[in-house]
Amino acid sequence: MSDRFDAKAFLSTVTSQPGVYRMYDATGTVIYVGKAKDLKKRLASYFRLQVGSRKTETLVKNIAQIDVTVTHTETEALLLEHNYIKLYQPRYNVLLRDDKSYPLIFLSADSHPRLAVHRGAKHAKGEYFGPFPNSYA
């Protein structure tokens, strides 16, 4: 994988649908996971002349491959992104690494079920829905 990533060729094949993308470095390690309402627009934003931050510039320089998963909705993309970040723990993702920052809705398995906002580990018996971007969503 010593060749530079061909962004132009890649972007010509990407759809404008919602989805999740995984960026890999030359060793095949996932270095970033992101989601988009419009994959083509979002991914193209990484390859502009001015990307906005030094961190993003460094990320882009390290890209060797990008995989895309198309979803039906933005919500589905958010959930898939969250799961991929938990699975891969990418170096450039910071916000979604901490479970405490994203609330879930918890429905207890008691005879009289209780509905509550939950953060952190899933120890109690019941159903969990989410994650949500904040407690107001």
Q: List per-residue pLDDT tens for the chain, 137 residues long.
A: 446 799 999 999 999 999 999 999 999 999 999 999 999 999 999 998 777 788 888 999 999 999 999 999 999 999 999 999 999 999 998 765 554 557 888 999 999 999 988 887 788 899 988 888 776 66
Residues 89, 38: one domain? yes
Per-residue confidence (pLDDT) for residue 100, from 0 to 100: 52
Does 137 fall in a domain?
A: no
Residues 17, 71: one domain? yes
Q: Distance between CA 24 and CA 28 in Å, rounded?
A: 5
Per-residue confidence (pLDDT) for residue 3, from 0 to 100: 65
Does 134 fall in a domain?
A: no
Is 25 strand, coil or helix?
coil
Q: Sort 126 into a burial class: Cβ within 10 Å, 0-12 / 13-18 / 19+.
A: middle
Residues 77, 19: one domain? yes
Residues 64, 105: one domain? no
Per-residue confidence (pLDDT) for residue 96, from 0 to 100: 52
Residues of the domain holding 46: 7-97
Residues 63, 80: one domain? yes
Domains contained in the chain, number: 2
